[in-house]
Amino acid sequence: MKAIIYNNRAEAKRIKVFIPYKRHDFRKQVKGLNSSFWHPEQKLWSVVNTEEKFNLLKSIFGKDYVIESGKIPKPVKRRELSEASIDAIFELEKKLTLKGYGNSTISTYKNMLTVFFSKFMNYDLKQITKEQIEGFVYQLIKENNISESYQNQMINAIKAYYEHVLGLPREFYEIERPKKSIKIPNVLSEEEVFKIIQNPKNLKHRAILWTIYSGGLRISESINLRIADINSKDGYIFIKGAKGKKDRKTILSEHLLIMLRNYYVKFKPSYWLFEGQTGGKYSVTSIRNIFRKAVKNTNSNPWATVHTLRHSFATHCIQNGVNMRHIQNMLGHSSPKTTEIYTKTIEINNKKIKSPLDNILKNNTFDT
């Protein structure tokens, strides 16, 4: 992902810039510029709109930027909520907690409902029509340029409230959604993966990266692994209560097993497979830092994240001829369609695939 310089009008006072989360180098340099300012609601940086500053931004970003003339996202306005609205949000939180929703989902829904109730605080919520709700979402799109993700989160929160708190039938809250975009996951080559997971000198750090890649784990799943989840006898890793509260099994690499045994002897974890210095689970932040350092040290794809190891695992399994049903089960996907996206990530080049043009012209003379 590249930095974005928004092409403002000439009379605009400031130039706004989006910096991808992983580009700490960009952020540090822009932060150090005279007149730089962070806009937390928009997640954008800005500097004074001068030709000198514009050229300086381009110099900082090098080739890793694009200029967009589209609308800049605007902060969504909120009002102080009434006691009734606060109570309504609490009721949703209580219902979702009882139903076992995750803390992250509950927090997102509460945040979205704060915006929704800012608009409809003085209405009888049971009397609001589907058309009014769609008009509200439409207004957010046109006036605030909200993303597809924000739009879907808002709709999910509203649906959850009407379903779980007000108990209205499904047809009431079937609100129009944006057409789902299909994005191809970022993946690493086998050579890049090898360099990255071998880079850490610390045995624990290396074992963590090996485990995530070798089993296609999410970062949260890796820190939740218990010693008992490594089933060396039958050759699998047990993943308990993963996304969607689903248990599953994934493959246990023979080479990983040897490394984990060495790791166990040296670090002697008591319950969790990967423990912090003071006991308890290893932290997500620490794993991300280990990965970022390895990426930087090996000059690998700077856009890669820890989750890219999971994408790479799935892609490499397909390239190695592993059955799609097995891959689906190892990744914990409910639908095979989710797994099939990895068929689009397979490397395409003329060393692996022959163009039909080459076959036609192979035994024929031709002019070029």
262 touches 255 (CB < 8 A): no
Marked catalytic residue, from 14, 159, 164, 218: 218
The Cα 341–Cα 43 span in angstroms is 29
Residue 310 known to be catalytic: yes
Q: How far is CA 262 from CA 203, 207, 215, in A?
A: 9, 10, 19
**For this structure, is 333 an active site residue?**
yes
Catalytic position from the list 119, 310, 311, 316: 310
Determine which one of 16, 159, 205, 333 is catalytic: 333
Q: How far apart are CA 303 and CA 301, in angstroms?
A: 5
243 annotated active-site: yes
Compute the residue count for the chain. Answer: 368
Point out which residues pair with 345 in neighbouring strands. none
C-alpha of 176 from chain center: 24
Q: Is 270 helix (H, G, I), strand (E, B) or coil?
A: coil
Reduced to 3 states, what is the DSSP secondary structure of residue 235?
coil
Q: Is 342 annotated in the active site?
A: yes
d(CA 57, CA 51): 10
Decide if 218 is catalytic: yes
Following CA atoms 297, 299, 304, 308 in sequence, which dihedral angle do they give, to the nearest 10 degrees?
Answer: -80
Q: Indicate which residue of 243, 281, 292, 293 is catalytic.
A: 243
- Catalytic site positions: 218, 243, 307, 310, 333, 342
